[in-house]
Amino acid sequence: MSALFTRGLPVLLIAAGLTALWIYSCSGPDPVVRHVRLEAPRADGEPYVVSARVHNTRFGKGEVTVVFQLTDRRSGEAYQAEVPVQLQENGDAFVSAEIRAPPGDYEASAEAIYPPQ
């Protein structure tokens, strides 16, 4: 093997590894929604409250949009609310939103979007 190959290859591999690490850590958050919870209105005319824990699985930090949705199990009609959230490195955020919807049997869901819309 040539001296250039034996000296240059390790340097090239280290540079590629450092570049990949830099891109991974500087690419912003990677949000994952966990533990979506729905609270029924406490009185007539009050909103439903949907909450979730959003976990950032990366070292990057930044703003994400959490989209909460209530879907009526019978009719399929859906109601949404969007909440902006700042995520820190490998951190959690507890997020909630009020959604006004008529009385019904709802399924709650949440999605975290990065970059925010």
What would the pLDDT profile of 34-82 be if each residue is shown by its tens digit? 999 999 999 999 999 999 999 999 888 999 999 999 999 999 999 999 9
Is 12 among the domain residues?
no
Give a yes or no: residue 11 inside a domain.
Answer: no
Q: How many domains does the chain have?
A: 1
Q: Count how many residues are written for the chain.
A: 117
Residue 18 pLDDT exceeds 60 = no
Domain-located, residue 3: no
CA–CA separation, 69 and 112 (whole Å): 12
Least confident of 18-22, 44-48, 91-95: 18-22
Residue 105 inside a domain? The answer is yes
Domain membership of residue 74 as a residue range: 29-113
CA atoms within 13 A on the CB side of 54: 30
Mean pLDDT (the chain) is: 88
